[in-house]
Structure 1
Amino acid sequence: MPHHALTPDALVMIDTIARTGSFAAAARELGKVPSALTYSVRQLEDALDVLLFDRRSRQARFTAAGEELLHEGRRLLQEMEAVSNRVKRVATGWETQLTIAVDGVMSRITMFELCEAFYALGPPSAAGGAADGPGDPATRRGPGTRLRLRTEVLAGTLEALMTGQADLAIGVGLRGERSLPPGVHTQPLGEMPFVFAVAPHHPLAGATEPIPDAELLRYRAVAVADSAQRLAPMTVNLLPGQDVLTVPSTAAKIEAQIRCLGVGHLPEPLAREHIAAGRLVCKRTERPPHRAVLGYAWREGGGPGNAGRRGPMGLALRWWLDQLERPATRLALLERHAGPSPAFVD
């Protein structure tokens, strides 16, 4: 019967062909000879009684039916993985994968050190906890949970959590009127001050302070693009009608302002070393200094594909939340963008 042909292996095969762009490349990735892969595709087409690929093209070009199978097949593979994750979590308490959305203003040093501490945990014990074990730290797998970090900007950090693309969001803006859906919890990290900075050779470097908006409006601003796709994107400290250079990250914004491509407000902890080195100059404006109120958020009983289900919290998410409850960890995430490493993890 046709549905017997839609095995996980068949769906993986179709996905691999789409990702690699050709039968030959897909065969190499799957460890098959091209003729065997071609035969498997023809068997699948015969079983479904449809053509999945346009044979007139030298590349692996899908027909409309093939595109539909690719789309639905990927969805089915994701759902099967989600089921596998839930089953494993029930058995051991540890998630198969934990995805963390991190705003670009958070300390990368601190995030990677948290990852190191997580991977240093021992493998799961029979009781579902984690037991320390011997071995080279570079080869120990910890509790077996795969970590996936994704960088987001402004509203995109919360959106990743709300859309099920992340299990934990770090660096969420807590100031504003946006309502959270049921089951989403937040806790504060602290405040991050912003400073208005320009390159030392920019005309505003010698301007009389405080600088009025009318003077700022004469010069190009540099802004970081909000990574949100569904939520309303956020804009901060931009003047109506001002020329804007939009960049993808705070690091790119700092670089653009150092190169005198524009001006703007920067997170003080990230700009601190550049200000101390003289690559940027702080100026006072008529607008009061901006302070971002940041926090972290997670979903109750969370996990991709688990929306609306109130199951027990996974042990990996619990570990990360325990670390984020520590004042030293919160401060390090906000402040430590350079310098020595403090002890902030268990």
Structure 2
Amino acid sequence: MSERRNVLTPEALAMVDVIARTGSFAAAARELGKVPSALTYSVRQLEEALDVLLFDRRSRQAQLTAAGQELLTEGRRLLQEMDAVANRVRRVASGWETQLSIAVDSILSSLTVFELCEAFYALNPPGGPGTRLRLRSEVLAGTWEALVHGQADLALGVAGEPSPVAGIAIQPLGELMMDFVVAPHHPLARETEPLSDTVLERHRAVAVADTAQRLAPITMNLLPGQDVLTVPSVPAKLEAILRGLGCGFLPRGLVRPHAEVGRLVVKAVARPRSAGRMHYAWRCPPGNGSNPANRQGLGQALQWWLEQIDRPATRNALLERHSGGPTLA
């Protein structure tokens, strides 16, 4: 048993992860800075120690066996836990996290997010001290998934009303008003309002792909049988609509400057138009519960970010300030 435990090092788990992610031993060797033969030898040593076959040698690709998939899943969890332990130890020693990962839905204001980053790095000592920020761009259920599965410490722009999860606190960010828009040269720009679903379904919609990998993805405002152009982010959706490649809903704060100069046309639709309820959420220390008011045991970096987002002006800027306008006070 000790031999098996000894071979399950962070390096070995990370090696399996890289091979599975890149899809081949050669690609993994390049990423890890090794020769393929050395990587193959390391995998065989791991397989012999565990007495299992991790990769199917009959496949030209690095195809995991059932045992290999289990090791990959549990290995990723163990690596995340190791990082979390190191982070907690660092936090106990200094009060500041080694790294703070923030998942941000691409529908929020990137200008405001980077202003917050600037303010954070301006702290004395810089970064508070030594906390590395890691921003993740997510969409819809992917934002919540990143937090739930330990890939983020803080999530901004959690959509809808997610089910309560132990160890995660959640607070309302606000309501995001959306407008249906088309380019001025798009056929729908000349249609009589309000636009019915029958009219809309004849025209291509532009949709942003949900980044969730494990949770059920969210689909919004798409009609059955409607042609869809799927893009990776809200800025990409804006660009596609500006080019007349399709139509769709965009945040009012993002639409406003383009509509004012005639680059976008806002159209009324027959279907009820409602605001999207958004939240921000964060991971709580074990035993701390999920009470948003209880912030004992949180690292100073996370506390700083929460203090900024608690301010109504910051929450409003995240939802509405997509270009220009006054900076955060």
Q: Does 1:229 align with 2:230?
A: no
Matches within 5 A, 1:20-59: 26=29
Aligned to 2:174: 190
SS at match of 1:143: helix
Q: Does 1:169 align with 2:155?
A: yes
Deviation at 1:317, TM superposition (A): 1.3
Amino acid at match of 2:154: L
2-side partners of 1:91 and 1:162: how far apart? 26
Kindly tell me: are residues 38 and 337 of structure 1, through their superposed partners in 2, closer, same or farther at Cα, counting changes over 3 Å? same
Kindly tell me: are residues 163 and 10 of structure 1, through their superposed partners in 2, closer, same or farther at Cα, counting changes over 3 Å? closer
TM-score by length of 1: 0.75
Deviation at 1:68, TM superposition (A): 6.8
Aligned to 1:312: 297
Amino acid at match of 1:319: W
Deviation at 1:74, TM superposition (A): 4.7
1-side partners of 2:258 and 2:104: how far apart? 23
Of 284, 288, 305 in structure 1, the residue corresponding to residue 268 of structure 2 is: 284
Aligned to 2:223: 239
Aligned to 1:137: none
SS at match of 2:130: coil
Deviation at 1:37, TM superposition (A): 8.0
1-side partners of 2:231 and 2:172: how far apart? 27
Deviation at 1:266, TM superposition (A): 1.4
Matches within 5 A, 1:138-287: 140-174=126-160, 176=161, 178-287=162-271
Kindly tell me: are residues 259 and 318 of structure 1, through their superposed partners in 2, closer, same or farther at Cα, counting changes over 3 Å? same
Of 313, 319, 324 in structure 2, the residue corresponding to residue 328 of structure 1 is: 313
After the TM superposition, which of the residue ranges 73-82 and 106-115 deviates more from structure 2? 73-82
After the TM superposition, which of the residue ranges 320-329 and 85-94 deviates more from structure 2? 85-94
Deviation at 1:6, TM superposition (A): 2.4
Q: Do 1:11 and 1:70's aligned partners in 2 also have CA atoms closer than 8 Å?
A: no
Measured against aligned partners, the alpha-carbon deviations of 1:34-64 in whole angstroms (never above 9, x if no partner) come to 9988987787778778888899999999898
How many residue pairs get matched? Answer: 322
Aligned to 2:93: 91
2-side partners of 1:282 and 1:106: how far apart? 20
Structure 1 runs not aligned, ≥5 long: 122-131, 134-139
Aligned-pair identity in percent equals 62
Kindly tell me: are residues 78 and 6 of structure 1, through their superposed partners in 2, closer, same or farther at Cα, counting changes over 3 Å? farther
Structure 2 runs not aligned, ≥5 long: none
Measured against aligned partners, the alpha-carbon deviations of 1:97-142 in whole angstroms (never above 9, x if no partner) come to 2221111111111111211222222xxxxxxxxxx24xxxxxx553
Q: Does 1:103 align with 2:105?
A: yes
Deviation at 1:172, TM superposition (A): 1.6
Deviation at 1:145, TM superposition (A): 2.1
Aligned to 1:113: 115
2-side partners of 1:160 and 1:61: how far apart? 25
Deviation at 1:8, TM superposition (A): 3.9
TM-score by length of 2: 0.78
Amino acid at match of 1:273: P
Amino acid at match of 1:95: E
Measured against aligned partners, the alpha-carbon deviations of 1:250-282 in whole angstroms (never above 9, x if no partner) come to 122222222222212211111223222322111
Kindly tell me: are residues 185 and 83 of structure 1, through their superposed partners in 2, closer, same or farther at Cα, counting changes over 3 Å? closer
- Which has the larger Rg? 1
SS at match of 1:188: strand
Aligned to 1:6: 7
1-side partners of 2:59 and 2:229: how far apart? 41
Aligned to 1:82: 84
